[in-house]
Chains A and B, each alone.
Chain A
């Protein structure tokens, strides 16, 4: 952990006792969100999300692969995340860290549980189906990678195209239809700092937090949850956070579906 961030913990707690945050946000406010899609032309889908100073790029690639034995009628989804060394002085080059793997798995779970992508729609012909590779690239770290990554993945998938397939091969230059996205799952991540809970923690707040909870929802259901760190939440706190996750859903969904194309 960065000692400079750590040194801010006292100050952040002290401010939160007066219900104040360093960037003068309300406790349940997101930072500014901006989403661009279709920014990389070699990727079938792409999106960049700026959540305050956190910046995440997501690329979606489709590739024809052999179908799995137990699911011969559908394609596959593979989500990966990289905490690039250029995003923070604390990130090193090398194999994916446990943090990166957790991040990718939590995003993967929400997309799957929300049935956002219809895997059966990826079927090509007997023995062949598209595999969707969702690669999450962290470009600048300032906290709350979960929400930024979820939004980037959802926006990139929503903007993705399916290439043509003929004579047993993909024709990547020709994209023939939009990828079918049936559902949008939106994330909300909370941090518990002292006795207070804040939405969308930045890096300084994350250095001060004792516990973290990510809740991904659609209009009707909770689709994925992940609690992090050693601190605990009360039942009441969790119920309140779930309410907040549903409350933020429509707004976040609008951001994702209305993302401007470059």
Chain B
């Protein structure tokens, strides 16, 4: 939400967005499961210009030991942007403060759906590597990670998805890309457990009225049906 003086116009004359999408239109999303040999489960997604790889190991021994929980498994989550993932800068390798926060909220999403008490004293390791970024990478990471976890056979109560909604002037938009993320008037990534309708991730910054929030959420839930379908197909395709 950079309040730049030379803020670009994000909507075209015909009411569509700069990349030609309608306000409530997802970017093209494709997911492939079971892409890495060593991992217990894995998935790769291309979502617009985002390229995301997620993999799961475990349940396994907990390192470091102080994380160990005698009653349940702990999820260790790593979200990281590759140093070559963005056009503008060469990033420093390894997680920074932003990545550590995203890792934490992502872990909390999966703490909700994974049957952790089946595996006391173990760790489930989840890695999300952003290989190419164009806005909405945390949502893409969660959506891809859910597929990787199911592919790994980690028992879960639901297959979570995530996507963001935002605002340009008085219009609610779905699935913000990088430039929209930078200059829009609000950004709200949400992760949903589709079976229960529970919101497992909710972050927002910018400005939204109550009505706009409701509309944003409705737009997300509607798009979620498509995302869930693509996740399901990716998992089924492993056996075709």
Contact = CB atoms under 8 A, between A and B. Distances in A.
Contacts of B38: 53, 87-89, 140-142
Interface in A58-82: 59-61, 63, 80, 82
A133 interface: yes
A30 interface: no
A137 interface: yes
Interface residues of B, number: 35
Contact of A85 (B85, B88, B125): B125
Interface stretch (A10-18, A35-43, A243-251): A35-43
Contacts of A42: 49, 84-87, 132-134
B94 interface: yes
A140 B36 contact: yes
B87 A173 contact: yes
Contacts of B49: 41-42
Interface in B73-121: 76, 78, 80, 82-90, 93-95
Interface in A78-113: 80, 82, 84-89, 92-96
A80 B78 contact: no
Contacts, number: 93
Contact of A133 (B36, B57, B84, B87): B84
B53 interface: yes
Interface string B22-39: 000000000000001111
Given A57-B131, A95-B94, A135-B93, A86 B42 contact: yes
B157 interface: no
A40 B81 CA distance: 13
B181 interface: no
A172 interface: yes
A135 B53 contact: no
A207 interface: no
B39 A59 contact: no
A133 to B, nearest CB: 5
B132 A85 contact: no
B162 interface: no
Most chain A CB atoms below 10 A, which of B39, B51, B60, B63: B39
Contact of B132 (A40, A63, A133): A40
Give the top 5 A-B pairs by smallest Cβ distance, nearest first: A59-B84, A86-B55, A86-B127, A61-B90, A43-B84
Interface of A: 40-43, 46, 53, 55, 57, 59-61, 63, 80, 82, 84-89, 92-96, 133, 135, 137, 139-142, 172-173
19 contacts: A40-B51, A40-B131, A53-B38, A55-B36, A55-B37, A59-B84, A59-B131, A60-B84, A63-B89, A85-B78, A85-B125, A86-B42, A86-B53, A86-B55, A88-B38, A89-B38, A133-B84, A137-B82, A137-B129
